[in-house]
Amino acid sequence: MAQSIFCATFLVFFTLTTLSFTLAFTQQNYTDAFAKSILFFEGQRSGKLPANQRVTWRSDSGLQDGSSANVDLVGGYYDAGDNVKFGLPMAFTTTMLAWSLIEFGTTMKSELWNAQAALRWSTDYLLKAATTTPGILYVQVGEPNSDHRCWERPEDMDTPRMVYTVSPQNPGSDVAAETAAALAAAAIAFRNFDNPYSQKLLQTAIYLHYLLLN
């Protein structure tokens, strides 16, 4: 499977940070590149899109996600160029995005709100995946084999949307640990902006730790 383009987005961000010292990028070049990196996330959104969606050639998709398991798993991000929602790369990307806000948020200026919105789009979904059913973490929506054989817009997808989970009886410490890390990092990122939400993220991270990592 192609490497998640979520990862690539912030590799671009950090690479540009380094190159700016060696290739004499102007402030305008850097600001434009960073803005496009954040905008990229909107093109990967799954679910009911908000009225302020800037990538207007995308529309609602995956609105029945989770229905095969009688739960609501609408939202989150699609992975790479396909229409599967993989929990591990999404959680890793969320962790990196959260730490980017923690470390560089004060320099993001006009893009800070957009970066926070990108982070929250993911954390809202990860909260849902972690708390919808006690004792279960939902870690994937979609069947990758059929999805990877089919090239279609998420708005038009007709591939199976089966649901995968981990639990104490069916463990998956890698995805559980990364999801907990993502929520904990996001709790720090939101602490000074939305403390009740930050506390919810932190408590869910602690819950996942004790549920799936002990």
105-117 burial string, b = 16+ CB within 10 Å, else e?
Answer: beebeebbebbbe
What is the band of 34 on the pLDDT scale with cuts at 50, 70, 90?
confident
C-alpha span between 143 and 171 (Å, rounded) = 20
What is the domain class of 5-212 according to CATH? mainly alpha
78 and 154 Cβ atoms separated by less than 8 Å: yes
Dihedral pair phi/psi, residue 18, rounded to 5°: -70, -45
pLDDT higher than threshold 50 for residue 123: yes
Averaged pLDDT for residues 57-81: 96
Q: What integer pLDDT is reported at residue 26 of this predicted model?
A: 66
Q: What integer pLDDT is reported at residue 19 of this predicted model?
A: 46
Averaged pLDDT for residues 18-42: 74
CA nearest to 76, candidates 25, 125, 16 = 125
pLDDT higher than threshold 50 for residue 85: yes
Q: For the chain, give every domain's residue range.
A: 5-212
What is the band of 12 on the pLDDT scale with cuts at 50, 70, 90?
very low
Q: What is the 3-state secondary structure (H, E, C) of the chain?
A: CCCCHHHHHHHHHHHHHHHHHHCCCCHHHHHHHHHHHHHHHHHCECECCCCCCCCCCCCCECCCCCHHHCCCCCCCECCCCCCCEEHHHHHHHHHHHHHHHHHHHHHCHHHHHHHHHHHHHHHHHHHHHHHCCCCCEEEEECCHHHHHCCCCCHHHCCCCCCEEEECCCCCCHHHHHHHHHHHHHHHHHHCCCCHHHHHHHHHHHHHHHHHHCC
Q: What is the pLDDT of residues 146-181, one digit of tens each?
A: 998 888 999 999 999 999 999 999 999 999 999 999
